[in-house]
Amino acid sequence: MKGKQVLLTGGTGGLGLGVTPAVIAQGADVTIPYRSPKDVERLKGIISPADFARIHFIPANLEDEASVEKLVSRMTKVDVLIHLVGGFSKGKTHEYSFYDWKQEIDINLNTTFLTCKYSLKSMLENGYGRIVTVSSRAGAEPAGQLAAYSAAKAGVIALTKAIAKRSVGIADETKNTNITANTILPSVIDTPANRVGTPAEIADKWVKPESIAQVICFLASEAAKDVRGAAIPVYGNL
Ligand SMILES: NC(=O)c1ccc[n+]([C@@H]2O[C@H](COP(=O)([O-])OP(=O)(O)OC[C@H]3O[C@@H](n4cnc5c(N)ncnc54)[C@H](OP(=O)(O)O)[C@@H]3O)[C@@H](O)[C@H]2O)c1
């Protein structure tokens, strides 16, 4: 990723704490949209001042199309999109509010669509692109009380594959280009938020953000040019 323009969403979140330093270490030129200045400060606390100074932080709400369009227009181009943004809530379907359902689709699926849409425009102009989205184990293996989250993350898998895969009888989106799209399926990640109230002997078994970062960095690299439309489980031993 050396010298590549990377749009890294969710780079200040729990998974971002592992992914952002790894992407910076690759020599990439990184843009991170954010909403919470507190999370930017948290990231600042774990990376060197020199690396922190290399990141372009841009306030943006990725659920809003105009905001995403403006964000991408502020970058010279997008070579790599790493889309970590997402959110989680649970509840029994018959008790789950329609408002919460729409929120889950908004934060997980609609942000993925919007960032892919505007990044792809830039990638197609330049003939190069790497898209890495984040689904979840629940997207491939839906579970009780996770209907909205599972449906949204299944949508992320479908969207990513649709961008990457050959189409039947109509024009492919990325065939014969050096543009790839892949998604990863984490199970439970060892983030600060997940650790709250969890005994260490359980949390210690969760997959570390730094480990997931290695998978993401490979998919985002030149070396992964022949990996297209994959949904890669990163479950560790869970
Ligand atoms: N944590 C897990 O165990 C787990 C397991 C499987 C999959 N995943 C997936 O992994 C990804 C990262 O999870 P995480 O644990 O790092 O979540 P997180 O700590 O909640 O971080 C999510 C990030 O997304 C940002 N964000 C949310 N909505 C946004 C919006 N509308 N516009 C701009 N930024 C927005 C948040 O910024 P603000 O705080 O500023 O809103 C935050 O930086 C998600 O897609 C999640 O679904 C997580």
Model pLDDT for residues 91-132, shown as the tens digit of each residue: 999 999 999 999 999 999 999 999 999 999 999 999 999 999
170 has pLDDT over 80: no
What does residue 7 show for φ and ψ, rounded to 5 degrees?
-95, 110
Q: Is the CB of 119 under 6 A from ligand 1?
A: no
pLDDT tens-place string over residues 42-61: 999 999 999 999 999 999 99
Predicted model pTM: 0.97
Q: Is 62 in the pocket of ligand 1 (CB under 6 A)?
A: yes
CA of 38 to the centre of ligand 1 (A): 14
Ligand 1 pocket residue status of 110, Cβ below 6 Å: no
pLDDT of residue 165: 81
Q: 130 vs 4, 181, 219, CA distance in Å?
A: 10, 6, 7
Question: Which pLDDT score, from 0 to 100, does residue 169 have?
Answer: 63
d(CA 134, CA 216): 9
Predicted local distance difference test score (pLDDT) of residue 136: 98
User: Is 39:13 a contact under the CB 8 Å cutoff?
Assistant: yes
Share of the chain above pLDDT 70, in %: 97
User: How would residue 175 be classed by pLDDT, with cut points 50, 70 and 90?
Assistant: confident
Instruction: Report the separation in Å between the CA atom of 159 and the middle of ligand 1, taken as the mean of its atom positions.
Output: 18
Q: Are 150 and 138 in contact (CB under 8 A)?
A: yes
Residue 22 phi/psi, 5° resolution?
A: -65, -40
CATH class, 5-234 region = alpha beta
Whether residue 71 has its Cβ less than 6 Å from ligand 1? no
> Would you say 213 and 22 are in contact if contact means Cβ atoms under 8 Å apart?
yes
CA of 85 to the centre of ligand 1 (A): 4
The answer to whether 111 touches 85, Cβ cutoff 8 Å, is: yes
Q: Where are the domains of the chain?
A: 5-234
Contact 131, 182 (CB under 8 A): yes
